[in-house]
Amino acid sequence: MSSALTCSTSNAPWYIVPADDKENARLIVSQIIVDTLGKLDLRYPESTAKRRRELSEIRTQLDSEYTSSSSLHLT
C-alpha cells in the first residue's frame, strides 16, 4: 500500500480496490472510469466547410471502391 501512496499523483492517481469481492471491485473500477471520463473536456473537433467537402469526396471514392470490389467477389 505504501507504493500506492508514494506513486499516486493528481495526473496519475492510484486506487486501492478490494480483490476479494469481484462484483464490488468491478463497480468501483467502473465508477472511477465514469468519473474520470466526466472530468475530461471532450468534444468533437471543429471542421471547416472545405474539410467537410474533402471528406465527402473521400467517402464517395471509398464507397465506389467498395462497391466495385465487392461486386468482383460475388461473381
pLDDT at position 53 is 97
Rounded-to-integer distance, Cα 7 and Cα 3, Å: 6
The CA–CA distances, whole Å, from 70 to 25, 59, 64 equal 46, 16, 10
31 and 52 housed in the same domain: no
Domain that holds residue 24: 2-39
pLDDT, tens only, 30-65: 999 999 999 999 999 999 999 999 999 999 999 998
Give the position of cell 471528406. Answer: 55
pLDDT, tens only, 10-37: 889 999 999 999 999 999 999 999 999 9
10 and 27 housed in the same domain: yes
Contact criterion met (CB below 8 Å) for 14 and 4: yes
27 and 56 housed in the same domain: no
Rounded-to-integer distance, Cα 5 and Cα 9, Å: 9
What pTM, to 2 d.p., does this model score? Answer: 0.55
Rounded-to-10 torsion of CA 51, 52, 56, 62: 50
